[in-house]
Amino acid sequence: MYNIKEYNRYKYVLENIKDIIWEMDASLVFTFVSEASEETAGYKAEELVGRCMLDFLTPESKNYVAQKWRERFTGTENLKKIILYDVQFVCKDGSLIWVEVSVKPIINNDKLMGYIGVTRDISEKKSHEEELKKYIEELKYANKRLEEMATFDMLTGAYNRRKFEYFVKMSIEKKENSGISFCIIMFDIDFFKKVNDTFGHREGDRILKEITAIVKSSLREQDKVFRWGGEEFIILLPELPLERTEEIAESLRKAVEQNDFGIKNHPVTISLGIGEYVINDSIEQFVSRVDNGLLKAKSTGRNRVIIG
């Protein structure tokens, strides 16, 4: 009587549980499949019995399962363990579903006889996971863009003004600790307002980008270019004395002057102020001193370099 009750109980569970209960031989051929297979994948139980489990997986899932089998089902001790994995199952109508598979080896006298397991449809869960993954990727991209916006000028690709303080403080620390000199160059595009007024802001933007490219290509890797505002830029030159900075500034001035910007009857030039950091100067004092050099370069004819 007890055995009949137990049998009926198990039979009821097998017939009503949504998960697919199955048994396979050592060759991964189904020897038993519960009726839930029809609702989950469209296959009647008898359509699966006698077929290899791998026949119903996508190529990627087949490779994944084969790897899992090699990793886990080798050696007597490992054969006693349950393995859990997610794979894509090909339904009878050709559609794909994600399933979670739990497998337990059947062992008799240390010999592998087959496997028993449970297969559960987790397509909805996977869909939510993919949506979450997509959202996280979008969030990462948005954060990256925000970081770029907080770091770089979007038009020219130069660092923005906010990053100048960060980098110049590093150079000041080196100067105070090791006595290593550093300088800055501040430059302004001559008569830039006239370029915008005459040729339009699109041309003005092109000039800004082209000059930034010229400057970057003429500098060392450790040098930093910042768009200070409008047509004004600052270049930070770490570990460089004033004499060498003056040579670089003059080289930049000539490079811009000799470049063909494609604007008829309107040469494009820059005026530059330069300066070396002096111990106990604040950042504001240092920049102001170099800015005075730039103002003097502009007031004395433009297209020249003046030490501030």
pLDDT tens string 44-73: 999 999 999 999 999 999 998 888 777 766
- Model confidence at 123: pLDDT above 70: yes
**Which residues partner with 102 through β-bridges?**
84, 118
Each residue of 288-301: pLDDT tens digit? 999 999 999 999 99
Q: Which residue did the predictor score with more confidence, 14 or 113?
A: 113
What residue type is assigned to position 273 of the chain?
G
Residue 9 pLDDT grade (very low, low, confident, very high; cuts 50, 70, 90): low
Percent of residues, the chain, with pLDDT higher than 70: 92
* Non-local CB neighbours of 197 within 8 Å, separated by 6+ positions: none
- Model confidence at 234: pLDDT above 90: yes
Pair of tokens at residue 103? 């497998």
Task: Give the 3-state secondary structure of residue 242.
Answer: helix
* Non-local CB neighbours of 223 within 8 Å, separated by 6+ positions: 235, 236, 237, 238
pLDDT of residue 46: 93
Contact 270, 190 (CB under 8 A): yes
CA 66 to chain centre: 32
Overall average pLDDT of the 27-38 stretch: 90
pLDDT of residue 14: 59
- Residues labelled catalytic: 231
Pair of tokens at residue 294? 């730039």
pLDDT of residue 150: 75
In the chain, domain spans: 2-122, 150-307
Q: Which residue did the predictor score with more confidence, 247 or 134?
A: 247
- Model confidence at 13: pLDDT above 70: no
Each residue of 249-304: pLDDT tens digit? 999 999 999 999 988 888 999 999 999 999 989 999 999 999 999 999 999 999 99
Give the separation between CA 236 and CA 36, rounded to whole angstroms.
70
pLDDT of residue 134: 85
- Closest to 65 (Cα-Cα) out of 41, 36, 101: 101
Give the separation between CA 186 and CA 235, rounded to whole angstroms.
6
- Model confidence at 142: pLDDT above 90: no
The phi, psi pair for 183, rounded to 5°, reads -135, 165
Overall average pLDDT of the 203-215 stretch: 95
Contact 294, 187 (CB under 8 A): yes
pLDDT of residue 10: 55
* Non-local CB neighbours of 53 within 8 Å, separated by 6+ positions: 24, 28, 29, 30
Q: Which of 106-110, 119-123, 172-176 has the lowest mean pLDDT?
A: 106-110
pLDDT of residue 290: 97
pTM: 0.60
- Model confidence at 2: pLDDT above 90: no
- Model confidence at 231: pLDDT above 70: yes
Give the separation between CA 76 and CA 82, rounded to whole angstroms.
13
Domain at 2-122: CATH code: 3.30.450.20
Integer-rounded Cα Rg, in Å, for the chain is 36
Helices vs. strands in the chain: H and E counts, helices first:
10, 11
Pairing of strands 270-276, 111-121: unpaired
Q: What size, in residues, is the chain?
A: 308
Overall average pLDDT of the 195-200 stretch: 90
Overall average pLDDT of the 217-242 stretch: 95
pLDDT of residue 263: 87
Q: Write the Ramachandran bin of 238: left for phi over 0, alpha for psi from -120 to 50, otherwise beta.
A: beta
pLDDT of residue 112: 82
Give the separation between CA 87 and CA 120, rounded to whole angstroms.
10
Fold for 150-307, please state it.
Alpha-Beta Plaits (3.30.70)
pLDDT of residue 1: 45
Q: If you average pLDDT over every residue of the chain, what do you get?
A: 88
Residue 80 pLDDT grade (very low, low, confident, very high; cuts 50, 70, 90): low
pLDDT of residue 149: 74
